[in-house]
């Protein structure tokens, strides 16, 4: 087993999203930071902080230069961050010290690293939004198709009252729908420029600093937060919470599927085989979703750690360890949800409703009796105890017509909930 399955040739397909993985590669990180440097030089030249000829040379170089990440490894290990080594490599590659001296003017390592991260998170969140739409489309189709497929609801793990499988699918999907509704606000918080200089005060850039930051944001199509997020990490915490919320919603679905597949009430379009038991059809996809969610919950906590002082190396490094995995885990779990074909077995789902004891209708019977509510409940409890001990039918003991206790007469608004969810997903 590798240190992290996310980068494993053996297990990577199970736990990571290849497109997300490419965004968090060393090459993608360096390319993003070079883009930031080029845009920063243009913004600074526009406000008279560096010569226009130098800005043009820097911008051109950031588009053309190719730098091997491996060549920066030793210096990065020594410095803790890649920027000093990358600066040295850029100075060497530009072969124009009169221009290169203006590269990174008045910025600090965290400015370039975090803004480069914002560029990559913008792409990652676009991919995640696509994966989220795919999962919602799958669940909307399931909810609509099974809106009137009766089954027993369970509370505290025990059979409760009738519902429908479509309503259950709607519960799974509504959690994801809430995440989709919240995503635009999260993106606005996350897709921001970081430009504060050494202590977050933009001191080297003087009065022009705020204008440079605004111009940099415009050049990169990011938002200007009008503050320094070096140590105030509300944007990262918001993203972590959103990703954790998406995983929690997926975990709900996965957990329910693991229970439903246990007794064959639901089968999956694809299942895993056992090394020794030929009859097994293991629910691999829900198990992976649960594993990704459990892992993600711990990563969320890491990303909620406070940053000390004006900049905090340790907490910042912890973000590097946790955030890529959390993004990758969420994307992969969403893809698994979108790709998993859930096939309910109507007969097995309905079986508890057809239990001859009729105990699933105990609540409905207590309301149907022509007795004060406390007395009705006491009577039904007494009958239920007798039936458990000696058998019989609750409906018969109550002397009520059986047609009043069909699934359709007792499932309440379950079909409407299923259809409402499907309509909300599709904007109907």
Known catalytic residues are 274, 311
| Cross-strand bridge partners of residue 159 | 154
Q: What residues contact 383, with CB distance under 8 A and at least 6 apart?
A: 394, 397, 398
CA distances from 275 to 15, 264, 280, 281 (A): 21, 20, 9, 11
80 near 315, Cβ under 8 Å? no
Helix (H), strand (E), coil (C) string for 56-106: HHHHHHHHHCCCCHHHHHHHHHHHCCCHHHHHHHHHHHHCCHHHHCCCCCC
CB 133 within 8 A of CB 331: no
CB-CB contact of 410 with 161 (8 Å):
yes
What backbone torsions phi and psi does residue 36 show, to the nearest 5 degrees? -65, -45
Supply the angle between the helices 234-262 and 165-190 in degrees, to the nearest 10: 160
DSSP class of residue 272 equals B
Which residue intervals of 146-231 are DSSP H helices? 165-190, 209-220
- Distance, in Å, from the CA atom of 42 to the CA atom of 50, rounded to the nearest integer, reads 9
Return the structure tokens found at 45. Answer: 């030249």
């Amino acid at each position: 087993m590798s240190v992290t399955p996310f980068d494993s040739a053996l297990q990577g397909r199970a736990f990571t999203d290849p497109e997300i993985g490419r965004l968090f590669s060393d090459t993608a990180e360096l390319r993003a930071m070079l883009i930031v440097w080029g845009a920063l030089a243009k913004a600074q030249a526009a406000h008279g902080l560096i010569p226009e000829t130098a800005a043009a040379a820097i911008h051109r170089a950031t588009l053309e230069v190719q730098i091997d990440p491996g060549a920066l490894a030793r210096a990065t290990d020594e410095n803790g961050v890649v920027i000093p080594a990358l600066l040295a490599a850029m100075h060497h590659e530009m072969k124009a010290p009169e221009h290169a001296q203006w590269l990174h003017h008045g910025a600090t390592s965290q400015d370039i690293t975090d803004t480069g991260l914002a560029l990559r998170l913008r792409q990652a969140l676009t991919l995640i939004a696509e994966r989220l739409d795919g999962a919602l489309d799958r669940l909307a189709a399931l909810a609509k198709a099974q809106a009137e497929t009766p089954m027993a609801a369970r509370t505290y793990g025990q059979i409760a009252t009738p519902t429908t499988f479509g309503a259950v699918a709607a519960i799974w999907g509504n959690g994801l729908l809430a995440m989709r509704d919240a995503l635009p606000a999260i993106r606005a918080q996350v897709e921001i420029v970081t430009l504060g200089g050494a202590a977050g005060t933009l001191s080297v850039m003087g009065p022009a600093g705020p204008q440079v930051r605004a111009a940099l944001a415009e050049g990169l199509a990011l938002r200007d937060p009008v503050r320094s997020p070096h140590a105030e990490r509300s944007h990262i915490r918001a993203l972590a919470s959103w990703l954790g919320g998406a995983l929690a919603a997926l975990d709900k679905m996965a957990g329910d599927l693991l229970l439903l597949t246990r007794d064959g009430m639901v089968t999956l379009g694809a299942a895993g085989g056992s090394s020794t038991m030929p009859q097994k059809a293991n629910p691999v996809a829900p198990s992976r979703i649960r594993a990704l969610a459990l892992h993600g919950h711990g990563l969320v906590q890491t990303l909620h750690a406070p940053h000390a002082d004006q900049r905090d190396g340790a907490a910042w490094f912890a973000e590097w360890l946790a955030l890529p995995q959390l993004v990758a885990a969420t994307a992969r779990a969403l893809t698994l949800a979108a790709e998993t074909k859930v096939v309910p077995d109507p007969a097995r789902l309905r079986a508890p409703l057809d239990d001859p004891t009729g105990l699933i209708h105990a609540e409905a019977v207590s309301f149907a009796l022509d007795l004060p509510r406390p007395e009705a409940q006491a009577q039904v409890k007494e009958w239920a105890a007798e039936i458990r001990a000696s058998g019989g039918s609750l409906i018969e003991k109550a002397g009520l017509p059986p047609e009043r206790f069909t699934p359709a007469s007792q499932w309440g608004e379950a079909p409407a909930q299923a259809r409402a969810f499907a309509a909300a997903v599709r904007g109907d």
